[in-house]
Amino acid sequence: MIARDLRRLVLLLCPLVALLLLTAGLWHTQPDYLSVRVGQFLGRPVDSGSAEAGDQQDETLAAISWDSHGRPDPLPPPATWHKIFSASTTDKKYFEIQFGNVPVFNPNILPHPTQNDTWMLMAQKWTDHQAADNGFISLEVGCDAKFSADILKCVYDPKPLPIEPTAGDKCTGKFEALNLNQGPHDARAFYGPTKPYTVYGSNSAFTCFGQWIQDFRTLVDWPAEPLVADDFEFGTELQRPFPYGILEKNFFAFWDKDDKMYIHYDMYPKRSFAAVDGKGAVVGSDLAPKAARHDSKCMGRYMPKLPPKLESIHQATNSLKVTLCSRSDEQCKPDDSNTFIMAIIQHKTFYSYHSEYEPYVVLFRQRAPFEMYAMSKKPIWIHGRGRNEEQRRTDMLYVTSMAWKEHGVKYHAFLDDVVFLGFGVEDKGAGGMDVRAGELLKGLGLCSEA
């Protein structure tokens, strides 16, 4: 009798545990968290390596030995990174972002449209899987915020953003429980050339999980401003050239020299990007093959070399446009020779069940076919990030967003302008750093040198 009851209990609990693991994966900041946890549940060895993984060791880690647990021994020396410092905090370290008593991750920071001492924040609310009648709820929350004692704090209780849940029935097999998801995941808030947007993950009409875009002004208390036909007033799914992945993540929008909109789908192992229309549909074809020969040489020179397991490369942030001279320089005139699209990608490692992310800046040209121009030679070290020599690990900082700090500056700025970086901290909090673009972009390797 007891054995029969135990078998019934196991049959009842297994689907529930699977559902919790799948849902947790979508909330998690780590792109490979879902596959890792599902693999553990199904009894497979943990391996966060993906199809993106290469078969060589990174040059900077080539001389480092690894213990039986896969941890570097010793940690790479500090000279391995390009260090950046806050332009405004008293200790030059990154600043904390506080949403009152609401735990959040994946923070985004935008200059307030009318108040020069205020910024608009958005982040994913951390929740213990609040149950709904037919699934699990995920929320993005937002507020207006000001600095106080080197902390960026909400000036009122954060509010859930009214992003409509989407329906989908294309999740099958081990992902089938994701059909019950309700709400957005891993949203990015950012400015385009004229207005702000948000891109977020939600159930897809084309695959299991897709990427959606919406005019950010429709979700917050924004000063009166007329909407036009191409403003994505409602959530619109972003389509991509085939084939689709099962779980699409972290698409970013960019605009060419004529402010025409494109979507960047993948950075590694090869790029993928295309123009889109006001309904999110692909216009034309994937443009990346036209730049592939040039880009492959550049990535071969500067992209981290990956072992077969436990490391991967991910798109991370939205894009900005930067001119590589100073706004204060009267001779500085933006053109195709000095103005580029900027984004941050990240090299992820997952040793001893601890994720670490190393950010790299990538620049590519502002006109088709948008070839890569330069990339960080060294990963970026955010001052204030913890480093534990005894445990041979560093703090997990996951960069999610970029924005120009100056009020009134939207998509395009210069080397002497300050950029905000927003990032999660060890899945427990949110942080940010304000750093001059010229400092962030130091030490770039030119693709022409590849």
pLDDT at 45 over 80: no
Q: What is the mean pLDDT of residues 110-125?
A: 95
Confidence at residue 136, expressed as pLDDT on a 0 to 100 scale:
72
List, for residues 388-421, the tens digit of each pLDDT value.
888 888 999 999 999 999 999 999 999 999 999 9
SS (H, E, C) 380-447: EEECCCCEECCCCEECCEEEEEEEECCCCCCCEEECCCEEEEEEEECCCEEEEEEEEHHHHCCCEEEH
Q: What is the mean pLDDT of residues 148-170?
A: 96
Q: Give residues with Cβ within 8 angstroms of 358, minimum separation 6.
A: 81, 304, 346, 347, 348, 349, 379, 380
Find the helix packing angle between 33-41 and 2-27, rounded to 10°. Answer: 170
Confidence at residue 22, expressed as pLDDT on a 0 to 100 scale:
52
Confidence at residue 20, expressed as pLDDT on a 0 to 100 scale:
52
Q: What is the mean pLDDT of the chain?
A: 86
Q: How crowded is the C-beta side of 22, counted as CA atoms within 13 Å?
A: 24
Which residue would you say has higher pLDDT here, 72 or 442? 442
pLDDT at 46 over 50: no
Q: Is the separation of the CB atoms in 102 and 140 below 8 Å?
A: no
Confidence at residue 445, expressed as pLDDT on a 0 to 100 scale:
97
pLDDT at 365 over 60: yes
Confidence at residue 318, expressed as pLDDT on a 0 to 100 scale:
98
List, for residues 181-209, the tens digit of each pLDDT value.
999 999 999 999 999 999 999 999 999 99
List, for residues 210-253, the tens digit of each pLDDT value.
999 999 999 999 987 888 877 899 999 999 999 999 999 999 99
Query: Can you read off the two tokens belonging to residue 263?
Result: 């979507």
Confidence at residue 41, expressed as pLDDT on a 0 to 100 scale:
26
Which residue would you say has higher pLDDT here, 61 or 134? 134
pLDDT at 26 over 80: no
Which residue would you say has higher pLDDT here, 160 or 26? 160
Which domains, ranges and CATH numbers included, belong to the chain?
2-449 (2.115.10.20)
CA gap 99, 75 in Å, rounded: 33
- At 305, give phi and psi (nearest 5°): -90, 130
Confidence at residue 227, expressed as pLDDT on a 0 to 100 scale:
83
CA gap 444, 181 in Å, rounded: 41
Hey, which residues does 421 pair with through a beta bridge?
402, 433
Q: Is the dihedral of CA 374, 384, 305, 389 positive or negative?
A: positive
SS (H, E, C) the chain: CHHHHHHHHHHHHHHHHHHHHHHHHHHCCCCCHHHHHHHHHCCCCCCCCCCCCCCCCCHHHCCCEECCCCCEECCCCHHHCEEECCCCCCCCCCEEEECCCCCEEEEEEEECCCCCCCEEEEEEECCCCCEECCEEECCEEEEEEEEECCEEEECCCCEECCCCCCCCCCCCHHHHHHHHEECCEEEEEEECCCCEEEEEEEECCCCCEEEEEEEHHHCCCCCCCCCCCCCCCCCEECCCCCCCCCECCCCEEEECCCCCEEEEEECCCCCEEEEECCCCCEECCCCHHHHHHHHHHHHHHHCCCCCCCCEEEEECCCCEEEECCCCCCCCCCCCCCCEEEEEEEEEEEEECCEEEEEEEEEEEECCCCCCEEEEECCCEEECCCCEECCCCEECCEEEEEEEECCCCCCCEEECCCEEEEEEEECCCEEEEEEEEHHHHCCCEEEHHHC
Confidence at residue 352, expressed as pLDDT on a 0 to 100 scale:
85
Confidence at residue 340, expressed as pLDDT on a 0 to 100 scale:
98
Q: Which residue has the tokens 């391996």?
A: 47
How far, in Å, are 162, 187, 258, 287 from residue 263 at the CA level?
24, 15, 15, 11
pLDDT at 68 over 50: no
Q: Is the separation of the CB atoms in 402 and 111 below 8 Å?
A: no
